[in-house]
Amino acid sequence: MKIKEIYKLAIDKAIESDFRGRKEVQRILDRKKESFEKMPEARKKLFDREALENPYLDSRILNIAEDKEIKKVLVGIDIDTAEILLGKEIKGIDLIISHHPLGKALASLHEVMELQCDVLHQYGVPINVAEGLMRERISEVARGVNRLNHQRAVDAANLVGLNLMCLHTACDNLAAGFLKKQVDQKKGLMRLKDLVHLLEGIPEYQKAAELGAGPKIFVGKKENRCGRIAITEITGGTEGSPKLYEKMAIAGIGTVVGMHISEEHKKEAEAANINVVIAGHMSSDSLGVNLFLDELEKRNIEIVPCSGLIRVRRG
């Protein structure tokens, strides 16, 4: 496969798993196209045209040094200059894939967060409330990523002549879809301890537990009843608004499964009596990335995991 084919496959798989459904994702892209066409020429020139085809702007091709057939890929959760040099050191690496966004994808991290509004709406939070609270948080994230050194790893890849791509929400969507299926299939998930037990049965979390980072209850007691379990914090860029927990409780959510949680968010969840089970960060990121890497392996691409990626094969 060529780099662009790998990238297209990732975006397609992400749309397939998107909680909003393929039709709705297409509608969002169509709306962007419509507003692009109405733009004056001067603004069109500056417009990020990738937004017309890719609904996950935190997932992009960042550097094409040589557009060759890809046979061996170095994949990690965080890629920086060190991993780029590692890519040079290990024989035969054709492409490096980072999970966390880099370069322009990092600068666009906030652009994927709208996804969270639709997911919250599906769980019963009124769309106007979700949009209102998320809008505030999205601008906060946009300001937060603005100050970062986006191009650092991309520059390194360019200097040493390595192909580089990042797949963030593109893979997180796969993890979210997988976890939702697991939770929905187990109707008897009564208590938080049962939910933790279910997660511990997933190999990535099992291995993370062995490494001291297994699933943990951050808010609630293990005998607490789960109530309605929401997979609202696995995909969609980064943490949403802390003010949402109160609205989620009103909407009938009992427990949230997340990758990680800040202290501020934890306090708000506690105040709203929402249980929070933290599945784990590197492990949850690994789960989504693995589901995509299985697709690459099926196409005879060799995978070299690095930088926190817990590689597990399925199927």
* Residues that bind Fe ion in the complex, under the rule CB under 5 A: 285
Which one, of 10, 1, 104, lies nearest residue 50 by Cα?
104
User: What is the nearest approach in angstroms of Fe ion to the Cβ of residue 47?
Assistant: 28
Give residue 103's region: left, alpha or beta (phi > 0; psi -120 to 50): left
C-beta of 61 vs 167, nearer to Fe ion: 167
C-beta of 111 vs 285, nearer to Fe ion: 285
Burial state string for 60-90 with b = 16 or more CB within 10 A and e = fewer than 16: bbbbbbeeeebeebbbbbbbeeebbebbeee
User: What is the nearest approach in angstroms of Fe ion to the Cβ of residue 300?
Assistant: 28
The one-letter amino acid code at 247 reads K
Q: Which residue is nearest to Fe ion (CB)?
A: 285
User: What is the nearest approach in angstroms of Fe ion to the Cβ of residue 285?
Assistant: 4
C-beta of 94 vs 285, nearer to Fe ion: 285
User: What is the nearest approach in angstroms of Fe ion to the Cβ of residue 191?
Assistant: 28
User: What is the nearest approach in angstroms of Fe ion to the Cβ of residue 1?
Assistant: 25
Strand blocks (E) in 163-236: 163-166, 216-219, 228-233
C-beta of 233 vs 285, nearer to Fe ion: 285
| The total number of residues written for the chain in this structure | 315
C-beta of 114 vs 285, nearer to Fe ion: 285
Distant-in-sequence, close-in-space partners of 257: CB < 8 Å, separation ≥ 6: 179, 183, 195, 199, 229, 230, 231, 233, 234, 277, 279
Residue 54's alpha-carbon distances to 14, 169, 254, in angstroms, are 10, 11, 33
User: What is the nearest approach in angstroms of Fe ion to the Cβ of residue 51?
Assistant: 22
C-beta of 109 vs 192, nearer to Fe ion: 109
